[in-house]
Structure formats: structure tokens, C-alpha cells
Amino acid sequence: MLNPLWLHTFKTLVEVGHFTQTADKLHMTQPGVSQHIKKLESASGCSLIRREKKGFELTEQGRIVYNYALKVQSEEAKLMENLSFDDPYSGECKLSCSGSLALLLYPQLLSLQQTYPDLSIHLEAAPNQKILHDVQSATVDLGIVTQTPSNLYQSTIIGEEALCLLMPKAYEKYPINEKILFDCGLVNHPDAIHYLSLYFSLCGEQALANINVEEIPTTGYINQLNQILLPVSKGLGFTVLPASALESFPDKDKIHIAQTKKSVKETLYLVQKRNRQLPHRYQTISGLLQEVFAT
């Protein structure tokens, strides 16, 4: 790599056209300028200038090195501009959340992008553990999770989300107990065990709290959120999902929401990697998320 200080001296010499004036401009001595040029020629392995009386001419190699010096200066200027320019309405935004939240948030994020076309929204649906892993590894910059993050993360409570125990319509007249659930079977999905455990422990039904969720028979597995309720609507099992997932399902009239003594809600945490300063555009994103959950 060519010494950037020598390159700068050479570029200035070419543009000024005189050794003494170059030395004055760079606050150097004339021998110091000459030494930079000689060192640059030695490093590049060729003569860059041809001296003629009181002046000089560039060699062909000198023209190539001068153009390279111009390119280096341009790239450095662009870098400094990118480092200092932090538009709250421009740039790439990488977020991750659950599938149900993605259904809720993506239209809102797209509306924001329509208002500010220089924003680029990248949203990934993932379970809690993957979201936290991706935030820690900087694969995504912001995440929304439903478990209290460790001290590796900076987190803010931005809202809560209701969970629903969703049964086929044929079960709407039956009381919810262990036998009914075991007979019906679980439609499994990536967050099913987490949602079931939380729901059973908080719904106020002691009979459900005593169920070992790992022992419930499964009737199938699907990791596409918009498909999880399809087997439930066809009478092939039950599941637990956030209420927002049911709202977006076209055949929700074929699904029964089980009633328990207490409603169950999950706290939502907006997380980022601790001590990582995010660009200002993420303040725009955070503001939108807070508005969505406030309503």
C-alpha cells in the first residue's frame, strides 16, 4: 500500500506545479517534498516525474499514480460524508419479530417507506431466540421479543400482545380441560411450546397449569404463520397464538377462542445490542412501533 502522506504530497505537487510553492502550501521544506516524491517513486518502482530546468513533467506512470491519488481522495471524502451524514429518513433498516407481529407491522412499515422512499425496510419473522442471536451478531439492528432480555441487550417495553387458545369450532360447547386438549391434539409451530406454557400458567385454570405441554399429542407441524390456523379451522387440532394472527386469518369464523378465567398477555420488548449506537433512522422506526402498539 502506498503511503497516503506521500500520495498527498505528490498530488499537491502535480496540481501546484512547483516544488517551492508545494512546500509552502504543505508547510514543509523543499527537500522534504523532494524526499516524499523519491520515497513514493521507490515504493511504486518507477519514475513519476521527469525534471526539466525549473519545472517537471509527469511520466506515464506518474499520470496513473496521480489519477489513483485523486480516486483515494474522492473515496475518503465519500467515507467522511457517509460517517457524518445520518438522515433519519434514509438508509437500510433491519428488524426482526415474531410472525404474528410481522403481519401487523409490515403494512405500517411499508406506509412509512412510501412516505420516505429513501428508507429500505428489511423485516424478518423469527422466534425469540433467533431474534436475540441476530441482534447480538448485528445481523439485524432492532428486534421485538416476548421474554426479558439479558444484560447483553438494551431493551424497552413497547406494549403487550394477547394470547389466545384456539380450538376448532366444533369444540365451542365443550369445557377446556386436559382430556379435550389431548383428544383434539396440538397443531405445533416454532413458538407453540413457549405460548402453551405461558398461557397455561397465567390463564387462572389450575387444571391447565398442571398439564405437561411436552406430553400433548401433536397432529402436525407448520412454520408458516399464515398456515398455522388452517388445520385448526379444519378440525385437526388446537394451538395457541397471538390474537393478531387470528385477525388476519380469512376463515376465523371456523375457529373458537377458548374462554378461561384470566386473559393472557405477553409483554413486548424492543431490543438492540447494548452499547451499540444505531443511526437516527432507527429513531423513526422506534417512533412508528410505539405509535402502533399505543393504539
Q: Is the dihedral of CA 227, 233, 238, 239 positive or negative?
A: positive
Q: Is the dihedral of CA 190, 196, 197, 202 positive or negative?
A: positive
- The grid cell for 68 is 489513483
According to CATH, the superfamily of the domain at 91-154+268-294 is Periplasmic binding protein-like II (3.40.190.10)
pLDDT of residue 10: 94
pLDDT of residue 165: 96
Q: Is residue 229 a contact partner of residue 166, using CB atoms and an 8 Å limit?
A: yes
Residue ranges per structural domain of the chain: 4-84, 91-154+268-294, 161-265
Q: Profile the chain (295 residues) by mean pLDDT over runs of 10 residues.
A: 91 92 92 94 93 87 94 84 75 89 90 93 90 91 88 91 94 91 94 90 92 94 89 96 87 93 92 90 92 84
**Are domains 4-84 and 91-154+268-294 of this chain identical in fold?**
no
Q: Which CATH number fits domain 4-84: 1.10.10.10, 1.10.460.10, 1.10.760.10, 3.30.420.10?
A: 1.10.10.10
pLDDT digits (tens, 9 = 90+) for 42-57: 999 999 999 887 789 9
**Cα–Cα nearest to 289, from 58, 138, 168, 112:** 112
Q: What is the pTM of this model?
A: 0.64
Q: 177 forms bridges with which residues in the sheet? A: none
CA-to-CA distance for 134 and 126, rounded, in angstroms?
10
CA-to-CA distance for 249 and 100, rounded, in angstroms?
11
pLDDT of residue 84: 60
Residue 75, CB half-sphere, CA atoms under 13 Å: how many?
A: 7
CATH fold of 161-265: D-Maltodextrin-Binding Protein; domain 2 (3.40.190)
